[in-house]
């Protein structure tokens, strides 16, 4: 349970709405870790419902142990209760021993139709439940600070899979032509030092280095790829609930991700904010793309890699053209089209759907 990465936000909402449903006593195994203080009423609610330190947890046969699963074989189940898995994975195909392990669960909840289809191909009992978005927190608002700038947003942990190199390559060209362009990045994560260098494998951009100060390295990386220092802002790792203060300034959000095991929480939040979004038409992103709700990146080159079957490589030229069209007002979505496409994906609805399958 945390406020600065996807699994943490999912866990937080599972805890809150799971308890509010009145059907379960939700017991997390780890204490919450928040970058930023919660509001006082939420703190009281959490502390009143969280297990006391060193308290013993009894597990019975009809209890549910919900395991968070991903790309790695992390065997962790309880034998004396119902074991259900919740998975977001990008590695494809999965190792055979992992597939056999997943078959041991009562069923697996997949975070996207792409993930579900791959599991079903391997005869794994699967249900698809899309993650949620806080529709009260992420809703349209007006610019405050950058009314005279064309602001592009890029979010998600910096790595090859998220495709920030594709965005940076296109923006380095775009920003030279339009001096009022401004890129705002939110690339921080708890694992940034370990995974950031994977972005170098595409060789689209000059390489990024890693150090204990990854915010500085990201800043240097953008500069080294030809972007003027006055045309970008690198945000530090920020909590999820402060993102709306960033989103209010954005004219175009860009998600050229090569793969998403889920639906991409940050993209869902940008859509709920009614921001025009350029979204790669591959893997889990396809659950977000609807007629008229976004600007799909349709050119998807196949990636030839052993564990990346089904991934897609977005075109720098296509993204650059979308940036140009948005800048000149040639690409206009209907007002609230993006927002309305997320209307059925509240966290409460998602968690209630999850619980109803138990």
DSSP collapsed to 3 states, 65-93: EEEEECCCCCCCCCCCCEEEEEECCCCEC
Model pLDDT, residue 1: 84
Angle subtended by helix axes 164-177 and 316-327, to nearest 10 = 50
Q: Do 330 and 196 share a domain, yes or no?
A: yes
Q: Do 273 and 330 share a domain, yes or no?
A: yes
Q: Do 189 and 322 share a domain, yes or no?
A: yes
Q: Do 64 and 101 share a domain, yes or no?
A: yes
Q: Do 179 and 279 share a domain, yes or no?
A: yes
Q: Do 32 and 177 share a domain, yes or no?
A: no
What does pLDDT average to over the chain? Answer: 94
Is the distance from CB of 249 to CB of 143 less than 8 angstroms? yes
Domain assignment present for residue 141? The answer is no
Q: Inform me whether the pLDDT recorded for 74 exceeds 80.
A: no
Domain assignment present for residue 138? The answer is no
Model pLDDT, residue 164: 98
Q: Inform me whether the pLDDT recorded for 104 exceeds 90.
A: yes
Domain assignment present for residue 352? The answer is yes
Out of 73-87, 95-109, 187-201, 275-289, which region has the weakest mean confidence (pLDDT)?
73-87
Domain assignment present for residue 25? The answer is yes
Tell me the average pLDDT across 202-220.
96
Q: Do 68 and 83 share a domain, yes or no?
A: yes
Tell me the average pLDDT across 193-212.
96
The boundaries of the domain holding residue 17 are 6-133+346-356
Q: Do 125 and 184 share a domain, yes or no?
A: no
Q: How far apart are CA 300 and CA 96, in angstroms?
A: 28
> Percent of the chain beyond pLDDT 90?
81
Residue among 38, 1, 4, 6 at smallest CA distance from 268: 6
Is the distance from CB of 272 to CB of 346 less than 8 angstroms? no
Pairing of β 300-302 and β 312-314:
antiparallel
Q: Do 81 and 212 share a domain, yes or no?
A: no
The total of structural domains in the chain comes to 2
* Band of pLDDT at residue 75, cut at 50, 70 and 90: low
Strands, sheet with 181-186, edge to edge from the N-terminal-most edge strand: 232-234, 181-186, 150-155, 252-255, 277-280, 295-297
Alpha carbon distance, N-terminus to C-terminus of the chain: 21
Q: Inform me whether the pLDDT recorded for 211 exceeds 80.
A: yes
pLDDT digits (tens, 9 = 90+) for 109-121: 999 999 999 999 9
Q: Do 161 and 222 share a domain, yes or no?
A: yes
pLDDT digits (tens, 9 = 90+) for 225-256: 999 999 999 999 999 999 999 999 999 999 99
Domain assignment present for residue 144? The answer is no
Domain assignment present for residue 142? The answer is no
Domain assignment present for residue 143? The answer is no
E strand intervals along the chain: 64-69, 82-87, 107-110, 126-128, 150-155, 181-186, 232-234, 252-255, 277-280, 295-297, 300-302, 312-314
CATH number for position 287 = 3.40.50.2000
Domain assignment present for residue 145? The answer is no
Q: Do 125 and 169 share a domain, yes or no?
A: no
Q: Do 96 and 217 share a domain, yes or no?
A: no
Q: Inform me whether the pLDDT recorded for 155 exceeds 80.
A: yes
């Amino acid at each position: 349970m945390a406020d600065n990465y996807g699994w943490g936000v999912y866990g937080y909402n599972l805890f809150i709405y799971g308890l509010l449903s009145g059907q379960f006593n939700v017991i997390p195994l780890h204490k919450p870790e928040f970058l930023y203080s919660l509001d006082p009423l939420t703190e009281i609610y959490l502390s009143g419902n969280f297990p006391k330190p060193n308290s013993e947890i009894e597990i019975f046969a009809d209890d549910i142990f919900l395991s968070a699963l991903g790309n790695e074989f992390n065997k962790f189940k309880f034998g004396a209760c119902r074991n259900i898995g919740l998975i977001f994975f990008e590695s494809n195909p999965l190792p055979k021993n992992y597939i056999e392990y997943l078959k041991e669960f009562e069923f697996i909840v997949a975070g996207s139709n792409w993930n579900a289809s791959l599991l079903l191909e391997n005869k794994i009992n699967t249900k698809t439940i899309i993650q949620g978005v806080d529709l009260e927190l992420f809703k349209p608002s007006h610019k405050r600070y950058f009314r005279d700038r064309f602001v592009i947003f890029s979010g998600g942990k910096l790595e090859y899979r998220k495709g920030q190199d594709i965005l940076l390559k296109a923006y380095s060209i775009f920003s030279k032509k339009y001096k009022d362009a401004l890129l705002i990045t939110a690339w921080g994560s708890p694992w940034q030092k370990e995974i950031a260098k994977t972005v170098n494998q595409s060789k689209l951009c000059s390489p990024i280095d890693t150090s204990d100060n990854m915010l500085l390295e990201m800043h240097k990386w953008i500069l080294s790829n030809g972007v003027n220092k006055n045309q970008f802002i690198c945000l530090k790792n920020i909590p999820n609930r402060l993102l709306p203060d960033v989103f209010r300034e954005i004219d175009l959000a860009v998600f050229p991700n090569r793969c998403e095991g889920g639906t991409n929480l940050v993209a869902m939040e940008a859509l709920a904010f009614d921001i025009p979004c350029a979204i790669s038409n591959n893997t889990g992103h396809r659950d977000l793309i609807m007629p008229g709700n976004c600007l799909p990146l349709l050119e998807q080159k196949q990636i030839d890699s052993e564990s990346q079957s089904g991934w897609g490589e977005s075109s720098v030229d296509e993204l650059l053209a979308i940036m140009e069209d948005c800048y000149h007002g040639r690409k206009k979505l209907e007002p609230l089209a993006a927002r309305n496409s997320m209307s059925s994906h509240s966290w409460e609805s998602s968690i209630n759907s999850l619980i109803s399958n138990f």
